Structure formats: structure tokens, C-alpha cells
Amino acid sequence: MRYRTLGRTGVQVSSLALGAMNFGRIGRTTQDEAIAMVDAALEAGINVIDTADAYSGGESEEMVGKAIVGRREDIVLATKASLPMSDERNHQGSSRRWLVTELDDSLRRLGVDHVDLYQIHRWDPSAGDEETLSALTDLRRAGKIRYFGSSTFPAYRIVQAQWAAREHHLGRYVTEQPGYSILQRGIETHVLPVTEQYGLGVLAWSPLASGWLSGAIREGRDITTSRSTFMPHRFDTAVPANRAKLDAVERLAALADEAGLTMIQLALGFVTAHPAVTSALIGPRTLDHLHSHLAAADTMLSADLLDAIDAIVAPGTDLAAHEKNDTPPALLNPALRRR
């Protein structure tokens, strides 16, 4: 396992981080399976575990908490907030009112007195940067969080938040957690240059592109991943964007075979090769999945291999741009454009 410094924090983190989204009903991972995966991940040298309040309605945090009992100080523990936790309109977002309440709930579920990294899961256009950053700064001063970061923020919002922190003399985001894979490279255009400019650590989620780069999805096979059951539109090969992904996967599979690598090694090696990326977040559903991911821990791709990947999916290209989660709200909600 390789280790890198998380932005400018001085904290050393593993190049692979364990994402716990599948813990609980989303991935149907049981508590015993979660404990086994945490055990195996720590033994392999992973020292970052990332979860969120919204994962299975808090169940993921509870399962992570039980899995790390007695080992808390060996783990860089990260969680997130802002996605809806109920139908109540104020049980979401990044207002001070909600973040103060929800952090306490996350700490209770995790069974800890602090988290190392608290992340705003998505940009909340209804809350100003000063509102959110002042709340996070106070929570850090109270000792409940060590650092705070953003997740899936558009590049201009990352810049705006850095400006607001300086303007109002508040703590700043020290990390960004964007989606990044061979098939979704759009963040190379704006987000990653911005994170490098401001010295942010980058924890890249979905490096296997929701299973497209796992090796299980190939031409002529039925697509049966855990994601395909609740997001079937993202795997329907009649959709042109999905057809483009499948075509790229076939070419990437041939490239991996020629290099003597698995698709997972190729995919994770690609993400961790970018100088702006600190860690790739893996989200295994089973212990076997985890072991296949761990096999890529020390994979380093040659320049020639990276060039060959560029020839299949050009730098800065998203093969399914409609699947991105950082589209400005005004482009999704007509009311925000016409009021």
C-alpha cells in the first residue's frame, strides 16, 4: 500500500480508501461482512474509512462504528452530511441548524466523539458559504471534527468557498471528493486543476464507474450488478451513452489483457496515477470484491499505458455527462432559470 499526504493537512492516508456506501441495505452487506471487510482492509494497510449519514439512512455509519471498536485511533474516519435524511424539509442541506444537529447524530451512530473529516455531500445553493463554513469552523473548534471538506462540488463553487473562507476569516475546505474514472474524466478539465491550485486532498469516488470497469460487464453478457437493480437506466445498452461506455470497456479490457492486468487494476491504477488524486475510494459489497480491489494497491501504470487509455477515452471527457452529480441546480430546475 502506498501513502500520500492529505492535501496540506500533514495526515498520511492510504492510496486506496474503504468506502462504506454498500454497508447495510444499499449493498445488502451484513454487519459480520462489514467487520470482515474492515479487518481485511486495515490488515492490507488501508487507513481511511469513508461513510455518510445518508447511506442506508444511517445504517452504514452504525455498522462502521461497530466494526472499528477498539481501533479508532488507527483510522482516518470520514463521513458526510447534506443529503435528505427524511421528508422534513430542514433535515437536509448545509445550514448551521442542520449540520450541528446531524453531526451529533452521526457521532452517536458511529460511537465516537469526533470524526477526522466531515464533508458536505453536495453543494447546497440555499445556504451561503459563510453560513456553512462558520458552522464547520465552530464544530472544529469544539473538537467534534478535525478537518472539513466538500464532495462533488463544481469547480467554481470550490473556488468560491476558498474565497469566502479567506474573506470571513473562517476555516476552509481541505479536501474535495469528486467522481472520477476512466469513463468519467470531466473533472480533469476544471476540478482537479483547482484542487491542485488550492492544495486540497482529493478522495475520488466511483473509480470503477459503478461496476462498468470491474471486469464483470462485457459485450454479450447480462449486466447484473448491484447498481443495475436500482439504476437500470445507467446500464441499458440501448441508451447511446451506455453503448459508448460498453464500447470503451471492450477496448480497455483488451488493453488490460495485453498489459497482464485485471480491469480493476487498470481502473484503480489510472485514478491513483493522477498527481492531484490522494486516494481512490473503493466500495466493495463482499469480501471477495475487496480482495480483488486490494490486488490493485500497488499497481502503477506506465506512461505508454496511460497514453493508450487516453486514445480510448480522451482527457477531460465524460462518456455519460448526464450522470454527473455536479450540474448546477439552475440547469436541472426550470424554476431557477425563469423566476
Q: Which grid coordinates are listed for 158?
A: 470550490
Catalytic residue among 55, 118, 147, 173: 55
Cα–Cα distance between 19 and 187 in angstroms, integer?
A: 20
**Contact by Cβ (8 Å): 316, 186:** yes
Is residue 55 among the annotated active site residues?
A: yes
**Contact by Cβ (8 Å): 194, 158:** yes
**Contact by Cβ (8 Å): 82, 92:** yes
Cα–Cα distance between 222 and 229 in angstroms, integer?
A: 12
Please classify residue 225 by burial: count the beta carbons closer than 10 Å to its beta carbon, then call 0-12 exposed, 13-18 middle and 19+ buried. Answer: middle
Dihedral of the alpha carbons of 99, 103, 104, 108, in degrees to the nearest 10? 150
Q: Mind telling me the catalytic residues?
A: 55
